[in-house]
Amino acid sequence: MLSYRHSFHAGNFADVLKHIVLIEILEHLAKKNNAFDYIDTHAGAGLYDLTSVQAEKLREYTTGIDKLIPDEWPELERYFDVLQAYNATDARRYYPGSPKIALALMRAQDKARLFEMHPADFGLLQKNTASDRRVKVMREDGLKGLLALLPPLSRRALILIDPSYELKNEFTQVSTTIVQAYKKFAGGIYAIWYPVVARQPVERMEHALKVSGIKKIQRFELAIKADTEGRGMTAAGMIVINPPWTLMDKMSLLLPRLVEVLSTDNAAYYRADVLVGE
């Protein structure tokens, strides 16, 4: 259960997709002066060294963030600004995880609640956020801990749910938790990351959300090659509940280009669609 370390995968194509969506939502929340909460159920270490032994073992960043040249993506200026903020030079050694990206866009009045169960990554997350008074780090089951935080006092929140899905029942756990969370806090923005290793678990999770009664659900998926059955991650997606009104337009423009740049075969594809409407 605690074997997954994101340090082996930092900066890959799935991170690129997740963090582009994350930044668009955070920028939307920051347009109003009112405080908001950022809740991350599977926060990881927070910051990753792309020259580390773990990152160099798979070198997934070379087929992800390394393929994007900032000057060619003016619409991703904020994304690259955040990445640059964690690097002293133009050589990109460090890649920020979702918590550090969120903290870079949050204001003084906003708060972050970060869950991480892996003992080593929990320690690194504490270290990487120790100087930030806006943050509380908890070594707890993030799906269970999330429910205890809802509704937040701010009544505005982005909840990021991105487990490793190493366990077969995690897709079901995620959909069940979201339905419970939505009943407590229907006004939150829920961003659910998922990998496509086998298609059936993803479809079951999507179906559970479609029939749950939850409204305003959008899906954004990036596949770098054709689906397989259990032969590694071929695609990744983000399901967003209560998305900003700008998100669909932005992702519909970006995803075709991302597929073109990041794909590894001619069967690559993208999806930007509405699972449930108003």
Tell me the catalytic residues. Answer: 162
**Domain-wise residue ranges, the chain:** 6-276
Angle subtended at Cα 102 by Cα 272 and Cα 213, rounded to the nearest 5 degrees: 45
pLDDT digit string (tens) for 210-258?
Answer: 999 999 999 999 999 998 877 789 999 999 999 999 999 999 999 999 9
Which is nearest to 28 in space by CA: 165, 170, 191, 173?
191
Starting at the edge strand found earlier in the chain, the sheet holding 37-40 runs 135-138, 111-115, 37-40, 157-161, 189-196, 235-241, 217-223, 269-276
CATH numeric code, 6-276: 3.40.50.150
pLDDT at 276 over 80: yes
The model's pLDDT over 247-271, given as tens digits with 9 standing for 90+, comes to 999 999 999 999 999 998 899 999 9
For 140-175, the pLDDT digits (tens) are: 999 999 999 999 999 999 999 999 998 889 999 999
Q: CB-based burial of residue 187 (10 Å sphere; 0-12 exposed, 13-18 middle, 19+ buried)?
A: exposed
Of residues 64, 183, 44, the one with CA closest to residue 116: 44
Q: Is the pLDDT of residue 107 over 80?
A: yes
What digits encode the pLDDT tens for the residues 35-88? Answer: 999 999 999 999 999 999 999 999 999 999 999 999 999 999 999 999 999 998
pLDDT of residue 2: 61
- Provide the 10 A C-beta neighbour count for residue 131: 7
